[in-house]
Structure 1
Amino acid sequence: MNTHFERTGALTELTSYPQWAQDMVTDCESTKQSVVRHEMWDMMRKASLSHASTTNFMVGIWPVIERFPAYMALSLLKTRFGRSPGDNLARRWLVRNIRVEQNHAEYWLNWAEGAGVSREEVLHGRAPHGTGTLADWCEEICTGGSLAASIAATNYAVEGATGEWSQRVYESKTYAESFPAKDRVGSLRWLQLHAAYDDTHPWEALEIVCTLMGMTPAADEVTHIGDCIKRSYTSMRISMDRCIEARRYLEALSEVAA
């Protein structure tokens, strides 16, 4: 039985959501932390990430940045106005936030340039093998998954974890001061927006997922949504791993050559 859900508590309080959602979020937490606490963010915070790894990151994650409005558009195509409260909520939210996303690709390129990676290299460079794991998964779930699954995997999981890691990096004075003062604000604009903007965005996505699924969805449906969320986190971690592993491979080659 799929009884209707309508949030009455605070947006950012987990207890405002059905018990199944609370349990699902808790179950996914350790997987999310493998992204939020990834070693690459610590390197960024210390301004010790090598140029090779920075390039891997900016080039390898670019497809996700460039395609993110398209992922949301694919979700929008699954909505039908008037079909359900969840559809109506998702439709309004997606239309509004696709516009918000429109400048993020430009801000990413500014960040890359400030970090020493040219716009040309980001746009046309060859991404290291494996860094496309996240982009491939987002494309897959937003194309073939249910509306609830695609929003959970991208707008809840990806944006939620991104909001947390970007806050960790953005609050680092050491990292900020690694950019020339005259370019600092523009270079860090992407980080600034995601550190603040994503504070409520994933909660809004969770509300949509819960409104779509109701108070008592079938157990296998909940398991599927949870698996999609975990796969997003895992794909993020794999992509980050590949950014650093490619650097380590190059370093090992240099040592052998020496």
Structure 2
Amino acid sequence: MAQGGSVTDIQYASNRSARHGLAPTPHPPWVEAMLAELQTDWDAVLGSRHFAAVREQKVSDETLRRSFMDFFCIVEAFPRYMGACLARTTFGLRPGDLEARNWLIGNIRTEASHAQWYLDWAMASGVTYEEIVTHRPGPEAGALYEYLWSVSNRGTLAEAFGAVNYAIEGVTGQWSRLVLPAVRHRLDGNPRALRWLEAHAEYDDAHPREALELVKLTAGDDETREKAKFATRRSLQLFRRALDALG
């Protein structure tokens, strides 16, 4: 297993989860099986060459610049992914929809702040504001961006929560912890530049844990559960490909 955590490490309780009515619950057998099947793809993201290079302080300036620019589109789009899901919820007409609606409303603003924090990190690392906001991502990062947009608009809510909030946010919390010491050293502990990374590394939000609860609530039959598992795996696979494309 890659250093830094597993697919099951984000299941523990938090006060924030309780406030949303989404405190962790015991995993039913289908969730346990899904998490076991996802572990290889989860480990592949954590074990990417890019994160290893950042952690070992061997990443080139050009590769680092490209990573900031390529992945900004996904960070910036998170509120819109969640907004697309919100637009498709009901006020309790389907199982889990009311919980999903309340959770999405409560968290979209938080994600908007994260985009600015990511920009602060990128600019402290030598990327200009104009470069990052006008950059067109490479095909691999673009494929991840488009997939997350598609599943948010066209997939079931269970697929969207699995692919966007559980997979991407969950594994990001773990890779952030892997690279944080090296990045903190590189930036001389600059608090403004470290906000995005520290927030994810320290689990200041409980999004992935809550998202897994929403997958459970909205995946009420075997077909939907299989779709959610596929979507979550696909998201992780595309993330790894985008990392590998950085060189």
Measured after TM superposition, the shift of residue 37 of structure 1 is: 1.7
Mapped partners of 1:227, 1:198: distance in 2: 28
Mapped partners of 1:55, 1:127: distance in 2: 12
Measured after TM superposition, the shift of residue 167 of structure 1 is: 1.3
CA shift in 2, pair 1:82/1:15, >3 Å:
closer
Q: 2:75 aligns with which of 37, 44, 65?
A: 65
Measured after TM superposition, the shift of residue 15 of structure 1 is: 7.4
RMSD of equivalent CA atoms: 2.0
Residues 46 and 175 in structure 1, CA contact (< 8 A), matched pair in contact too: no
Q: 2:243 aligns with which of 240, 245, 257?
A: 240
Of 22-31 and 76-85, deviating more is: 76-85
Residues 45 and 171 in structure 2, CA contact (< 8 A), matched pair in contact too: yes
Mapped partners of 1:110, 1:60: distance in 2: 15
Mapped partners of 1:10, 1:130: distance in 2: 32
Match of 1:129 in 2: 139
The structure that has the greater radius of gyration is: 1
Match of 1:109 in 2: 119
Q: 1:209 aligns with which of 207, 211, 215?
A: 215
* CA deviations over 1:43-74 (Å, ceiling 9, x no partner): 11122211111111111101101111000000
Mapped partners of 1:193, 1:168: distance in 2: 13
Mapped partners of 1:44, 1:200: distance in 2: 25
Match of 2:19 in 1: none
Q: 1:148 aligns with which of 145, 158, 167?
A: 158
Q: 1:166 aligns with which of 164, 169, 176?
A: 176
1:185 maps onto 2:191 in alignment: yes
Amino acid at match of 2:162: A
Match of 2:43 in 1: 33
| TM-score after normalising by structure 2 | 0.86
Measured after TM superposition, the shift of residue 18 of structure 1 is: 1.2
Mapped partners of 2:62, 2:49: distance in 1: 15
Measured after TM superposition, the shift of residue 195 of structure 1 is: 1.3
Give every structure 1 segment of 4 or more consecutive aligned residues whose post-TM-superposition deviation is greater than 4 Å.
9-15
Mapped partners of 1:153, 1:195: distance in 2: 20
Of 114-123 and 229-238, deviating more is: 114-123
For the residue of structure 1 that corresponds to 2:92, the secondary structure is coil
Match of 1:175 in 2: 183
| TM-score after normalising by structure 1 | 0.83
Match of 2:54 in 1: 44
Amino acid at match of 1:213: A
Amino acid at match of 2:241: I
Mapped partners of 2:142, 2:88: distance in 1: 25
For the residue of structure 1 that corresponds to 2:202, the secondary structure is helix
Residues 95 and 218 in structure 2, CA contact (< 8 A), matched pair in contact too: yes
